[in-house]
Chain A
Amino acid sequence: MEFTTEGLAALSKAIAIVGTGFASAWAEKVIGAAAVGAMVENESLFGKALVLTVLPETIVIFGLVVAILI
């Protein structure tokens, strides 16, 4: 089996996207569950909770940027 430069670059892009995708998903799961817990007791926290829940989305954006730069 031969490793070409293009092939390794494509693999690196995939790792960057997959890794950050999983990291975002895990973080959003934890923050989302916590946000719902807080909102059940205090509905006025909806705005803050929403912002905090989508914040980990930036991780996958970083992954995307890295993938584009490779």
Chain B
Amino acid sequence: MLNTQKIREISEYVQDQLPDSVSKHIPSRLPAFGKGSSNYPYAVTRIRAMRVKLFPRDAYPRFLNMSLDEITRKIGESEYKQDIDELSREYTGVNLIEHALNRNMAESSQKVLRITEGEPHELVREYLRVFDIDDIKTILRGKLHNIPEDQILQALVTGGALRYTFLSGLVTKNVDEIIASFSDSPYGPILKRFDGTNFPEIENELDKFYYENLFEAIGLPSSADRKQFDQFVRREIDIKNLSLLLRVKKYEALENAESEGTQCIIEDVSSMMIPHGLALDTDKLKSLCYDDFIEALRLTPYWDVISAVLENADLKSVSLTDVEARLTRFNLTKVTENSRRFLISIIPILEFIIYKSNEVRNLRIIIRGKSVGMDNELIKDRLVIL
């Protein structure tokens, strides 16, 4: 009988035997077994039934044409009813909706965790840790910029392992106390490296840590659905890296244009790149000037998705938010296609989680945009409608 230690040894031996060109793309992984019996048929059907209850795509244009009160009423009549009813004693208006959306997202994530068993449970749990990472970053960023506590609380989405009571307790503490609270957690060693000035580095380290853990949970993807899950995560990494590179390259190009220099000055962003992406050669892309960078992007699978925004566009008018929305939409479309191919697998479960978080994100954008009087077209550009 193989035990976990033996499996790890075998896995490491196999890794050692792989040529560098292959192994450098594969983080240290165990084959995915020994995670108990799974209940895919039950979980997937139940989650598909939950997916049907999400707002359809034609609901968003209707929301855009409604007033804030009408949107609140409409959301209050939907799946968010219980959250709005219960929170209406504490909050009003935009704050009420914002808290209700976040709470509903957290409850949906926890429900998915309750429904699943064995392998899907493990995968979902690791995937949902993204909420923990985001919450830690939100609290620390808020504290560093002296954001009021109620505004920090409003931005928290407790979809991962960290509970709202724990996180709301952290919001009342100072930065050192917050870091000390995580000393026994897996995030402790990373947070301890915070020296007051290197917060962007800490944020990147947390992201890298999240993906390393997620890859470990996915294991060596042997089945077709596992491979799709693996590809989804790696595409997500590509999108994060590409968004960051675009931002940096645009900034560099604007800086160079302002200084009227003929030489292209490149910033070193190596430490900010998340490894193990799918199709982007970040080592090459990060060392290119803006024009060469755009030329190199033409050879990637993402060019068809973003060419409409970048092709022949004036540098200053390039909307990076639009690019990010297009890339996110592309990744979600891929998941939808695969969820129809792999009916009883992890993909439909993943699809629900990302569609739900996308719905919450879209509703927040509409509510926030409407409350500050943003133009409908501007709000629409930021939505990811599928």
Q: Which residues of A are in contact with B by a Cβ distance under 8 Å? A: 30-31, 33-38, 40-42, 45
Contacts and interface: CB of A to CB of B under 8 A. Distances in A.
B45 interface: yes
- Nearest first, the 4 closest Cβ-Cβ pairs linking A and B are A41-B49, A37-B46, A37-B45, A34-B45
B41 A38 contact: no
B45 A35 contact: yes
Contacts of A31: 41
Main secondary structure of the interface of B (DSSP, over half): helix
Contacts, number: 34
B42 A33 contact: yes
Main secondary structure of the interface of A (DSSP, over half): helix
Interface of B: 39, 41-50, 53, 115, 344
Contacts of B53: 41
A47 B46 CA distance: 16
A42 B43 CA distance: 14
Instruction: Name, among A31, A37, A38, A40, the residue most crowded by chain B CB atoms within 10 Å (CB to CB).
Output: A37
A40 B41 contact: no
B40 to A, nearest CB: 9
A38 B115 CA distance: 12
Given A37-B41, A37-B43, A38-B49, 14 more contacts: A31-B41, A33-B39, A33-B42, A34-B42, A34-B45, A37-B42, A37-B44, A37-B46, A37-B49, A37-B115, A38-B46, A38-B48, A41-B50, A45-B49
A63 to B, nearest CB: 23
A33 B344 CA distance: 12
Contact of B41 (A34, A41, A42): A34
B111 to A, nearest CB: 10
A30 B42 CA distance: 8
A45 B49 CA distance: 10
A31 to B, nearest CB: 7
Contacts of B115: 37
A29 B106 CA distance: 31
A36 B41 CA distance: 10
